[in-house]
């Protein structure tokens, strides 16, 4: 089986943050895969369910091996820029599943477990570590084989010690409340959290860009008062602002990936913290603006936007959140606690 992952030529000091030929080939291959196997009708149809066959198909393409020792092509190890290429492609398709959590897990798990995660047989659930004794709310809880918890600074193993109560979510993902026993902290927590932020930001930016594109297309044909909506500055300018913010977040994400691939984890942590906040805010702003353009049809389940905006809101609120990212940025400029 041929892996999608490959080497990159970019360096942290490079001004060119575009993908090289190999990385673009990864994105193109996944785009074709998603068009064939995960179109908009499939995404809407997977509400409150998880498709194990679809997830395994993604894994069979080698998409989950990026930035791992196993993610190689021609004896060259892939890196975080490949994670960006993969996450952006999946984000444009609003591909369901624990994408960022899986990339995080492959950074911290031992080889035996990592291999089962990368081949799609083992599902990872990542949640917030809490101090209360209530069951913890976890994504894909009933499907998960591995539970991880984070406080934004470290990652901990957790074991399920009770029954799982299913919970429906606004984002259409099957979650659940789980009684978890917190275990040991992983040694490579920092690497895992950086990769998680990079993947999440890349996915969010791409998903929101797809939303803005589809909304702009709608604005160019929908007429009001004898003009298309796109002819009104009150519509065109906010959409343009969204695209600018999303492009900036996307480029910052790739810069963070370059730092990670050059083993500059300190700078990568700083950049990834900024990109998580930047991508989250730009994506949420885009969701708001696009709903305004679509008006009533934008908030209907069968409408053209809701399956994207609910996924955006779900991802923004998931672990590890942006509290630790804010602390990292404040510490960098000398304003930390």
CA–CA separation, 269 and 119 (whole Å):
28
Question: Could you report the per-residue pLDDT of 42-55, keeping only the tens digit for each?
Answer: 999 998 999 999 99
Contact of 22 with 72, CB cutoff 8 Å? no
- The tally of CA atoms less than 13 A away on the side-chain side of residue 116 is 11
CA–CA separation, 299 and 296 (whole Å):
6
Q: Which residues contact 195 (CB under 8 A, 6 or more apart)?
A: 67, 80, 83, 100, 103, 104, 107, 260
Residue 131 has pLDDT above 70, yes or no: no
Supply the pLDDT for residue 74: 46
Mean pLDDT for all residues in the chain: 90
Q: How many CB atoms lie within 10 A of CB 329?
A: 17
Q: Which residue has the higher pLDDT, 230 or 37?
A: 37
Contact of 80 with 10, CB cutoff 8 Å? no
H or E segment and range at residue 224: strand 223-224
Mean pLDDT of 208-223: 93
pLDDT classification of 6: cutoffs 50, 70, 90: very low
3-state secondary structure of 142: coil
For CA atoms 314, 318, 323, 326, the dihedral sign is negative
Residue 2 has pLDDT above 60, yes or no: no
Question: Could you report the per-residue pLDDT of 236-256, keeping only the tens digit for each?
Answer: 999 999 999 999 999 999 999
Contact of 241 with 164, CB cutoff 8 Å? no
pLDDT classification of 86: cutoffs 50, 70, 90: very high
Contact of 99 with 119, CB cutoff 8 Å? no
3-state secondary structure of 71: coil
Supply the pLDDT for residue 126: 97
Residue 7 has pLDDT above 90, yes or no: no
Supply the pLDDT for residue 228: 87
Residue 126's closest CA among 51, 107, 71, 134? 107
Residue 179 has pLDDT above 90, yes or no: yes
Supply the pLDDT for residue 12: 44
Contact of 310 with 172, CB cutoff 8 Å? yes
Joined tokens for residue 141: 């809880």
21-118: CATH topology is Butyryl-Coa Dehydrogenase, subunit A; domain 1 (1.10.540)
pTM of the model: 0.93
CA–CA separation, 3 and 118 (whole Å):
11
Q: Which one-letter DSSP state was computed for residue 135?
A: P
Between the ranges 127-141, 230-244, 292-306, where is the mean pLDDT highest? 230-244
Supply the pLDDT for residue 133: 63
- The tally of CA atoms less than 13 A away on the side-chain side of residue 262 is 17
Q: Which one-letter DSSP state was computed for residue 114?
A: H
Residue 163 φ/ψ, nearest 5 degrees: -75, 160
Q: Where are the domains of the chain?
A: 21-118, 124-187, 190-332
Contact of 324 with 145, CB cutoff 8 Å? no
190-332: CATH topology is Butyryl-CoA Dehydrogenase, subunit A; domain 3 (1.20.140)
Mean pLDDT of 209-235: 90
In the chain, the percentage of residues whose pLDDT exceeds 90 is: 73
Q: How many CB atoms lie within 10 A of CB 203?
A: 29
CA–CA separation, 262 and 276 (whole Å):
20
Joined tokens for residue 64: 């989950």
């Amino acid at each position: 089986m041929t892996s999608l992952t490959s080497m990159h030529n970019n360096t942290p000091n490079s001004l060119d943050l575009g993908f090289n030929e190999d990385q673009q080939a990864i994105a193109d291959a996944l785009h074709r895969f998603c068009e064939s196997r995960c179109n908009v009708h499939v995404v809407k149809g997977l509400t409150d369910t998880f498709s194990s066959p679809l997830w395994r198909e993604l894994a069979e393409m080698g998409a989950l091996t990026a930035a791992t020792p196993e993610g190689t092509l021609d004896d060259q190890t892939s890196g975080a820029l490949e994670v960006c290429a993969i996450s952006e492609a999946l984000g444009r398709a609003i591909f369901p599943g624990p994408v960022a959590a899986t990339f995080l897990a492959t950074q911290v798990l031992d080889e035996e477990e990592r291999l089962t995660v990368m081949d799609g047989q083992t599902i990872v659930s990542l949640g917030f570590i809490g101090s209360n004794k209530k069951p913890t709310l976890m994504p894909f809880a009933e499907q998960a084989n591995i539970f991880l918890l984070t406080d934004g600074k470290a990652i901990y193993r957790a074991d399920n010690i009770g029954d799982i109560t299913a919970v429906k979510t606004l984002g259409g993902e099957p979650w659940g409340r789980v009684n978890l026993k917190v275990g040991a902290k992983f040694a490579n927590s920092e690497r895992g959290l950086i990769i998680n932020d990079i993947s999440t930001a890349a996915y969010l930016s791409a998903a929101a860009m797809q939303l803005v594109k589809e909304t702009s297309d709608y604005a160019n044909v929908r007429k009001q008062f004898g003009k298309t909506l796109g002819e009104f500055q009150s519509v065109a300018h906010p959409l343009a602002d969204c695209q600018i913010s999303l492009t900036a977040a996307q480029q910052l994400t790739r810069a963070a990936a370059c730092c990670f691939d050059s083993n500059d984890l300190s700078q990568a942590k700083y950049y990834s913290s900024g990109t998580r906040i930047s991508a989250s805010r730009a994506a949420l702003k885009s969701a708001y603006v696009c709903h305004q353009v679509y008006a009533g049809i934008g908030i209907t389940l069968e409408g053209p936007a809701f399956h994207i905006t609910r996924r955006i809101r779900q991802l923004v609120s998931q672990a590890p959140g942006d509290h630790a990212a804010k602390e990292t940025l404040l510490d960098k400029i000398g304003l930390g606690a």
